[in-house]
């Protein structure tokens, strides 16, 4: 299907891309293209308005690659999902990103889709958000004047993943003592779109949970923390029984909104499994 007429821009620097994004009206960013191109086709099919300008970030070298700087993992926006998966830097608390990358769609899609596209596409069900919040990641955006603005991933998604700047990279501090468990349930056997996902990260002190972060992707709203469950776990001893008790300490509106009985059940199964995994590995 042919798209409606538009002006295609292919900047070769981050500064050029930022200026275009600020100065142009009715503009969309093209990263890997797996979300945007389908969206433009759908808008045309519906007879809806499509953007006048598309800015491709494919030729902006500052936006590619995974590095370790001052014990922080730096993942640049145009890093493809498979390139992140293949990185040798995904150790310690960063290793959960391998699991998330492997869960995203199919291999051909992972060879096109980018980390930045997944985080900023504004689809509520995408994979990366919950894990970035659990890892307490910082997201960075570049304005037209080159100023770098940092924002916690949690705050970004609380603001419905809106931005008027170019997303440049995400930064995650290494935590060698953190334990992380991730669970994800897809909608059907044939469509690999997540129905839900949960990520639980914790440190352990004196056989107790501490610094616990529980993040949830319910597919309906953007990824968010269950602070009720976090508070309970941070007062709990590290034991498998804590997983059962935790089910009485959930922020139920996160899990029950627009959820049928099966989805509610799978949330609880996933959370119990993740908490048990952390309890069982806390001494290792």
Classify domain 62-173 by CATH number. 3.30.465.10
Residue identified by tokens 């491709």 is 56
Fold of 179-281: Enolase-like; domain 1 (3.30.390)
pLDDT digits (tens, 9 = 90+) for 81-137: 999 999 999 999 999 999 999 999 889 999 999 999 999 999 999 999 999 999 999
Average pLDDT, the chain: 94
Residue pair 188/119 in contact (Cβ under 8 Å)? The answer is: no
pLDDT of residue 1: 56
pLDDT digits (tens, 9 = 90+) for 160-217: 999 999 999 999 999 999 999 999 999 877 767 899 999 999 999 999 999 999 999 9
Of residues 191 and 274, more confidently modeled: 274
Angle formed at CA 268 by CA 205 and CA 136, multiple of 5 degrees: 45
What's the CATH number of domain 7-56, 3.30.43, 1.10.246, 3.40.50, 3.30.420? 3.30.43
What is the mean pLDDT of the segment spanning 235-253?
96
Cα four-point dihedral sign 164, 119, 115, 9:
negative
Q: Which residues have a Cβ under 8 Å from the Cβ of 81 and sit 6 or more positions away?
A: 101, 104, 109, 110, 111, 113, 114, 115, 118
Going from N- to C-terminal start, the domains of the chain cover 7-56, 62-173, 179-281
Question: 167 forms bridges with which residues in the sheet?
Answer: 141
């Amino acid at each position: 299907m042919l798209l409606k007429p538009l002006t295609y821009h292919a900047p070769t620097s981050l500064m050029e891309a930022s200026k275009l994004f600020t100065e142009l009206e009715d503009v969309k960013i093209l990263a890997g293209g797996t979300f945007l191109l389908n969206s433009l086709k759908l808008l045309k099919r519906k007879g809806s308005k499509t953007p006048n300008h598309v800015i491709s970030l494919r030729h902006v070298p500052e936006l590619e690659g995974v590095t370790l700087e001052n014990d922080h993992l730096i993942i640049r926006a145009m890093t493809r999902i498979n390139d992140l998966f293949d990185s040798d830097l995904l150790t310690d608390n960063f290793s959960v990103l391998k699991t998330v990358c492997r869960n995203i769609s199919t291999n051909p899609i992972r060879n096109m889709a980018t980390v930045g596209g997944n985080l900023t596409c504004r689809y509520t069900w995408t994979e990366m958000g919950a894990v970035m919040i659990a890892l307490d990641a910082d997201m960075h955006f570049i304005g037209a004047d080159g100023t770098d603005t940092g924002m916690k991933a949690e705050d970004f998604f609380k603001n419905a993943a809106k931005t008027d700047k170019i997303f440049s990279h995400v930064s995650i501090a290494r935590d060698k003592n953190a334990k992380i468990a991730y669970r994800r349930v897809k909608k059907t056997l044939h469509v690999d779109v997540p129905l839900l996902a949960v990520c639980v990260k914790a440190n352990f002190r004196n056989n107790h949970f501490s610094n616990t972060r529980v993040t949830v992707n319910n597919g309906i709203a953007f990824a968010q923390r269950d602070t009720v469950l976090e508070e309970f776990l941070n007062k709990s001893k590290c034991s498998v029984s804590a997983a059962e008790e935790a089910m009485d300490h959930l922020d139920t509106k996160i899990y029950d909104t627009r959820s049928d009985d099966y989805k509610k059940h799978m949330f609880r199964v996933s959370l119990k499994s993740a908490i048990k995994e952390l309890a069982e590995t806390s001494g290792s």
